[in-house]
Structure 1
Amino acid sequence: MTKYLISFPGEAMVVPDGEWDDVAAASRAVIVEAQAAGVYVFGGGINEDVDPVVVAADGSVSAGTYPDVTVPNGGYTILELPSRAAAVEWAAKIAVACRCPQELREFQYDPIS
């Protein structure tokens, strides 16, 4: 099976005041469904309160990201699925729950993961 990344940038999620609890409950329900289906690998949101760093091959650390790259934020879910069509179906479920479009990407096959 193939692993898929379903994600959205933080600024895409525009939720009216008073509706955050509903969105959180809906998104958690999709994750519970994915876990029950045995397709859930990992999910979570980037902690935007912690600044990113770049760790070089020599172990040195510098503040920021790669040059000309925006800082990733928002939410990420990784699912292992039998087809791209199944990935689109799960991305749609997450889009409904989070009330924003989702980007779908496919991981390349890695024989040791």
Structure 2
Amino acid sequence: MTKYLISFPSEAMIVPDDQMRAVSDASHAVVEEAKAAGVWVFGGGIDESVPPVLVDGDGTVAEGAHPRTRGLDGGWTVLEVPTREEALGWAARIAAACRCAQEVRAFLDDPAS
């Protein structure tokens, strides 16, 4: 089976404050469905109040992200499913719950992980 990253940037999720609770409940319901189906690996949102740091191979720590990386924020879900089509189906459920489009990427298989 392949692990898939399903994600969206913070700016994609434009939800009025009075609807945020419904979106949260809907997204948690999809999480519970994924757990019940046995495909859930992990998920969550990037804590944007904590600035990123870059740690070099020699242990040097510098403020900020990798120069070639656009900002990483928003919500992330990793699922392990047998087909890309199934990953796209879960992404559609997440998109409906979060009310924003989701990006889907496959992880390379690494037998050591």
TM-score bracket for the superposition, by shorter chain length: over 0.9
Misfit runs of 4+, over 2 Å: none
Match for residue 73 of structure 1? 73
Q: Distance in 1 between matches of 2:66 and 2:24?
A: 32
Q: Distance in 1 between matches of 2:13 and 2:20?
A: 10
2:95 maps to a residue whose letter is A
1:111 maps to a residue whose letter is P
Q: Over residues 20-69 of structure 1, what are the superposed CA-to-partner deviations in whole Å (9 max), with x where a residue is unaligned?
A: 00000000000000000000000000000000000000001000011142
Q: Distance in 2 between matches of 1:72 and 1:34?
A: 24
2:83 maps to a residue whose letter is S
What displacement does 1:88 show?
0.3
User: Secondary structure in 1 aligned to 2:87?
Assistant: helix
Residue 25 of structure 1 pairs with residue 15 of structure 2: no
TM-score by length of 2: 0.98
Q: Pairwise CA RMSD of aligned residues? A: 0.6
Match for residue 45 of structure 2? 45
User: Secondary structure in 2 aligned to 1:15?
Assistant: coil
Unpaired runs of at least 5, structure 2: none
TM-score by length of 1: 0.98
Match for residue 111 of structure 1? 111
Q: Distance in 2 between matches of 1:35 and 1:17?
A: 28
1:58 maps to a residue whose letter is D
Any residues of structure 2 matched to 1:52-67 within 5 Å, and which? Answer: 52-67=52-67
What displacement does 1:71 show?
1.6
What displacement does 1:81 show?
0.2
User: Secondary structure in 2 aligned to 1:41?
Assistant: strand
Q: Distance in 1 between matches of 2:84 and 2:21?
A: 31
Match for residue 36 of structure 2? 36
Residue 11 of structure 1 pairs with residue 22 of structure 2: no
